[in-house]
Amino acid sequence: MSEYNALDAEFIRANLDTSRIGREILVYKSTSSTNDIAAEYAKAGDKNDGLAVFAEHQTAGRGRRGNQWLSGKGKSVLCSVVFFEPKIEADMITITAAVAVVETIDKNAKIKWPNDILLGGKKTAGILVEAFTKNKKKYFIIGIGINCHQSKKDFDGELASIATSIDIESGTVCDRNRIAKRLLVNLEHFLDIAVKDPDEIVERWRAASMLFGKRITVEHNGAQFTGNCIGVEPAEGLIIQLERGGVRMFHAVSTTIVKNGTEM
Ligand code: BTN
């Protein structure tokens, strides 16, 4: 048994102020990956639009670029949402989910493009959006992992300098059920804005971005590029005013941010 309150579908559902995201809520004690469960349900069609799958533990949690996503039992909010939407692309959904996570965990949290959310300069949450098409219908699985109850002991070795949790940063014990609820409300709110007014999401991204306005180096197809980050284009990626001259956009799938020659 965990020393923390368990995730509770009834609590998350009660008075949930959404009409779409979280219409159905499932909580698993353990599963391979909430993204896999959500993807299975999505195969049945858009009747499962808005389904939110949570788990206390994942045996095969995954992150971007095939990385593993590890988290101790009952310590995180691990969530995947099914989202049928023809009008926006996966990169825009990632940006929007990042804005929603910032709003959920701490308005001062920073977004490290494309999918990391940082508190105190360290990673606290990650986003993995997977895109599918079935019978010409485009849908997404929006996977979000938020570190909540991890202590410093949970992040040893190399992780100590790059990862943190809400409890570590706040010095208190957060309430995962409330975080889960806020996450669904914020996802609905910002996804709705993303469809109607994408510029507003980009504006919010800029305000929360740790890269915007900074001199950065990215690695793309084996080459490094340095310059000033001047924005993000939802469909084209990060926009950099290059020191060697010119402005270039870098797609998230093929680009990493580097510092002192290593991935940051
Ligand atoms: C990353 O930072 O690379 C993205 C991490 C995304 C992790 C979440 S946890 C819930 C959902 N299920 C998964 O297997 N991955 C996402």
**248 CA distance to ligand 1 centroid (A)?**
29
Domain 9-208: CATH class, spelled out:
alpha beta
Query: 176 to each of 41, 186, 200, how far by Cα in Å?
Result: 24, 15, 28
**182 CA distance to ligand 1 centroid (A)?**
18
Considering the entire predicted model, what is its pTM?
Answer: 0.95
**103-113, pLDDT tens digit by residue?**
999 999 999 99
Torsion of CA 231, 237, 243, 246, to 10 degrees: -100
Distance between CA atoms of residues 157 and 242, nearest Å: 35
Q: Is the dihedral of CA 199, 119, 175, 144 positive or negative?
A: positive
What is the average per-residue pLDDT within 172-199? 97
Best CATH choice for the domain 215-263 from the list 2.60.120, 2.30.30, 2.60.40, 1.20.1740: 2.30.30
Domain layout of the chain by residue ranges? 9-208, 215-263
Distance between CA atoms of residues 259 and 78, nearest Å: 29
And the tokens for 221?
A: 């197809």
Residues with CB under 6 A from ligand 1: 33-35, 58, 61-64, 67, 69, 78-80, 115-116, 126-128, 143-145
Give residue 261's pLDDT band: very low, low, confident or very high (50, 70, 90): very low
And the tokens for 56?
A: 């206390």
Res 146 pLDDT > 50: yes
Length of the chain: 264
Strands 237-242 and 223-233: antiparallel
